[in-house]
Structure 1
């Protein structure tokens, strides 16, 4: 089995089988991050597929600085945020259309796409992007602050500040007792 740097070099040179192996070796990782962020299997699959498609062209621009997994974290987080924004816009448009059709009657909120997401992760998604990303990486993925800082391309102290800020905000949002 070829090492990552060899596969990346071959994929950058246009070797489809090397690119396929890179995807195969990293798909579960990408999907796990996408699922943790979206909380929904279908959305996670869409996000993971988006990342794999983007990876096809982005692999040529990767500078090779740091670990491939760090770069994949960034790509997946960006794709998850893009998907969430797109989904929110589409939902807003659909609700506006339904209100117009129903003469401003409220829209029934049936089975929400995020019904399976815990209250904590739902609250995390309401935090500012960088703060939510820091929480996802440190608590969801178990990264230390230094590795999370590499993924987020910021100082380790900034990650610590985001985590501190997230704890304060989440306690307020969830009215949680001390000890998060």
Structure 2
């Protein structure tokens, strides 16, 4: 839904990108303002923790500032932002796993997750938690197709793989999610 709303503003994005590439800080600030919520939402769906999603969104904005000159405009800005955001989320996850702060970090994350004021119901949150437990590519495919409403073709552009590969990741994710959700139901 949101991706469709952003797609209608491609011409304004193109103008802002051109100005930002030329060093116009106000144009860059406007780009960040226009897309920050989008970046945050993708990061949150991928990582599932508010504080981490905020860190990732800020990191993406910094990366965007450094990389905007290299954006050639061959695709949509939002496709490029998906890629930047998912890469930043992967980097963040790798860094977190290297830090080995297991018990303390788990408690902090559990508290921050409980503090998130989200309008979604418990079943939806449980499903997204299960999605976050999937292997990275399956998680990203589900996030892009079901969370962001992208077509398999557009998701394949973001993920840098064939459309059939996205379909395969979705298929495998559905099989795993059935097991994960059944396990969760058995616990409750």
TM-score range, shorter chain: 0.7 to 0.9
Root mean square deviation, CA, Å: 2.4
Higher helix share: 2
Question: Is the deviation greater in 2-11 or in 27-36?
Answer: 2-11
How many residues align structurally? 164
Query: Secondary structure at the residue paired with 2:73?
Result: coil
1:162 corresponding residue in structure 2: 169
Gaps spanning 5+ residues in structure 1: where? 96-106
Compute the displacement of 1:44 (Å).
Answer: 1.1
Q: Could you list the structure 1 runs, at least 4 aligned residues long, displaced by more than 6 angstroms after superposition.
A: none
Higher relative contact order (CA 8 A, sep 6+): 2
Structure 1 residue 111 corresponds to structure 2 residue 112? no
Q: 1:173 to 1:7 in 2, by over 3 A?
A: same
Q: How does 1:57-76 map to 2 (within 5 A)?
A: 57-76=66-85
Compute the displacement of 1:108 (Å).
Answer: 7.4
Rg larger in 1 or in 2?
1
Residue 137 (structure 1) aligned to one of 138, 144, 154: 144
Question: Is the deviation greater in 43-52 or in 166-175?
Answer: 166-175
Gaps spanning 5+ residues in structure 2: where? 1-8, 117-124
Compute the displacement of 1:130 (Å).
Answer: 1.5
Please, what TM-score do these two structures have when normalized by structure 1? 0.81
Q: 1:59 to 1:89 in 2, by over 3 A?
A: same
Structure 1 residue 78 corresponds to structure 2 residue 87? yes
